[in-house]
Amino acid sequence: MNILQPPVIVRLGKFNLLMKKLLTAFLLLLLAYTSRSQTCNAPGQRPSTAFPVCGTKVFNQVEVPICRTSSLVVPGCSGADYADKNPYWYKFTCYETGTLGFLVTPKDLGDDYDWQLYDITGHDPNDVFTDASLVVTGNWAGTFGKTGASGGGVAFIQCASDPAANLNSFSKMPQLVQGHEYLLLVSHYTPTQSGYNLEFGGGTANITDPVIPHLKTSSTICSGDVVHVKLNKKMKCNSIAKDGSDFFVSAGAATVTGVEGIGCASGFDTDSLEIKLNQPLAPGTYQLGVKKGSDGNTLLDYCDNALSETEVISFIVYPIAPTPMDSMETASCSPQQIKLIFRKPISCASIATNGSDFSIIGGYPVSILSAKGSCTNGSTNEIIISLASALQQKGSFVLTLKNGTDGNTLLDECAQPTPAGSSLSFTVMDTVNANFTYAVNYSCALDAVNYFHDGRNEVNSWKWNLDDNKSSTQQNPQGNYIVFQPKNISLVVSNGFCSDTTKQTVALDNLLKVDFSVVPDNCPLEPVVFTSLAEGKITVHNWSFGDGGSSAEKSPQHIFQQPMRETPFMVKYEVTDSYGCTKSITKPIVIYSSCTVFVPNAFTPNGDGLNDVFRILNGVKTQNFNLKIFNRWGQPVFETKDWKQGWDGRYKGLLQTTGTFVWLMQYNDLRTNKSVERKGSVTLVR
């Protein structure tokens, strides 16, 4: 695809090719300008009429249309008018997961073809024009010649470009998923009608239908001279001999004079046939057989798999008689519609749309609002009766047929009336409500929650999700919880006819956690701040500081007296909540005899546990600390940024001999907020 306009300057990169075609293409170029207003209506030109694909075939498109239907979204691309320009669409199903490879070869290699692949599983084909999430991959490079999906393609959608850029017109083979349905758009950007070949291959996915064709069902209409046949899969319309020579009726009871494929007038394939006979058949059972027709074959699927000549299917010609009120689809919970099922088609014109063909009596009044059929070709096998309000209360009812305001009951396709007074009985049960209540019994180690459902309206099934991987089928279960936090509870109830679901959050708010923060190293005679980190409905705080002092505040301060040497104190914090539950935690802190930095002048690293390490003392009020130690040759033998870390007298793992070493210390004094630099020496004694 090319983003330059007008088309006469699009192909500067291949000017010589355009010059060859200039005279013959001029009118087509003008026609291309008007293609925006020419909608693509021929078979294959819309997603809903896409060509069915067999992975073993090469599609030879002799020419392409000059038309356009809608703009397209191309993920990752913008700034160009992306559309299904001069398109053909192809549809296929993936029968085995794998990669898809294909090749589009223009009949004129100076033409520019683009393409886009969609996964339409579960979607209307026309959703491709509005739902960008359906796009699998594509290629819109403004490059002449071949395009498609191959092992050497790019792993992204190539956007519209100047042809001189010569971008890669192949994209990486996409991964198809078994059972998914796909649409492939091949768009001809060059404003000519020259066609192309489309060939699938090179990938590992299987898009060839493995199902063998068979006759599935058959039926006749009133006159007995038409047989309706349903096949198990779609067959090609152009493989059907219209003169009916593909079929015969057993024992020469009648001659097949014609066959019509339902939907073939606007599509390529069908799974429904209308077979016409030369005369009506008397009531009885007959067989319909298959043979090669005047076109030299039986019916063929996309891959030319033939309907076997051994295929035979029975059909019954019924005596003409009124169609009874056959059956009713089982009523659902709280129904506001009733569906009637008929063995033979009912004429849609005989159904009174105001529902006056029917009446309902039962345990309480029921008003009918309307009635309609699921009509195809003027007839239906089901009638949907809509009620003025849903039936939410338990009751037994009788639906009775009567003459409606149109002057008749129901007429089948043979114009036979179903007798007035015909009736069908049905019952409904009460709707149910899954709302529940609960009561919480709080405790310190385990919360017990009792759940209650009233069981009204004959509920006989309970499915509880009690959170924390707990479940129950009891009516009133109990949930026991050791983790105190909100619980997401759900309940599904049923009486075998109606069901209901509800969800609630149970707030177990008696979580109790105890913790506190404190600076671990502290100076004597200075306030030490203890910050509570406890959580819960706390009513009592109790601190014990390890020196005989205590506090009942939440986050207290405490002053420790000056010890003879640095001394650890065990601080205990205990909390009690409104439920009477208690938790505690104990942490150590150190109180130093002084916060004046002191540096020893000697140490004895002999392993006796006394003075084995050289380190500074009382560095509580230092920040950005750094200590370096040098030997007498000026080599650094030790460095640390932690004032508590000391030197053990080793350098590169070797014990140093007795001698004097120089140290350099730098830090910020937190009390004065000044930078300090000190030098000195220390003697290592062995």
- At residue 13, the pLDDT reads 33
Q: Is the pLDDT of residue 552 over 80?
A: yes
CB count in 10 Å sphere of residue 539: 11
Q: Per residue in 492-528, is it b (16+ CB within 10 Å) or e — as a string?
A: ebbbebbbbeeeeebebebebebebeeeebbbbeeeb
Q: What is the CATH number of domain 602-684?
A: 2.60.40
Q: Which residue has the tokens 């993936």?
A: 94
327-428 fold: Immunoglobulin-like (2.60.40)
Q: Between the CA atoms of 577, 583, 588 and 593, what dihedral angle is there, to the nearest 10 degrees?
A: 40
pLDDT in tens, 472-488: 999 999 999 999 999 99
Q: What is the CATH number of domain 215-317?
A: 2.60.40.1220
**437-506 carries CATH number 1.10.240.10:** no
Q: How confident is the model at residue 9 (pLDDT cuts 50, 70, 90)?
A: very low
In angstroms, the CA 140 to CA 78 distance is 11
Question: Where in the chain is CATH 2.60.40.1220?
Answer: 215-317, 327-428
DSSP string across 539-555: EEEEEE-SSS-EE-SSS
Question: Average pLDDT for residues 309-332, to the nearest whole number?
Answer: 91
Burial-class residue 6 by CB neighbours within 10 Å (0-12, 13-18, 19+). Answer: exposed
- At residue 23, the pLDDT reads 35
Q: Give 451's contacts (C-beta < 8 A, 6+ positions apart).
A: 436, 437, 438, 464, 466, 476, 477, 478, 479, 489, 491
Q: How confident is the model at residue 167 (pLDDT cuts 50, 70, 90)?
A: very high
Reported pTM: 0.51
- At residue 307, the pLDDT reads 96
Contact 337, 430 (CB under 8 A): no
- At residue 249, the pLDDT reads 95
- At residue 376, the pLDDT reads 87
pLDDT in tens, 282-298: 999 999 999 999 999 99
Q: Is the pLDDT of residue 5 over 80?
A: no
Closest residue by Cα to residue 174 from 196, 157, 186, 161: 157
In angstroms, the CA 238 to CA 268 distance is 8
Contact 573, 582 (CB under 8 A): no
Contact 87, 45 (CB under 8 A): yes
Contact 482, 445 (CB under 8 A): yes
Which of 316-325, 371-380, 501-510 is predicted with the least confidence, judged by mean pLDDT? Answer: 316-325
Second CATH level (architecture) for the domain 516-591? Sandwich (2.60)
Contact 411, 389 (CB under 8 A): no
Question: Where in the chain is CATH 2.60.40.10?
Answer: 437-506, 516-591
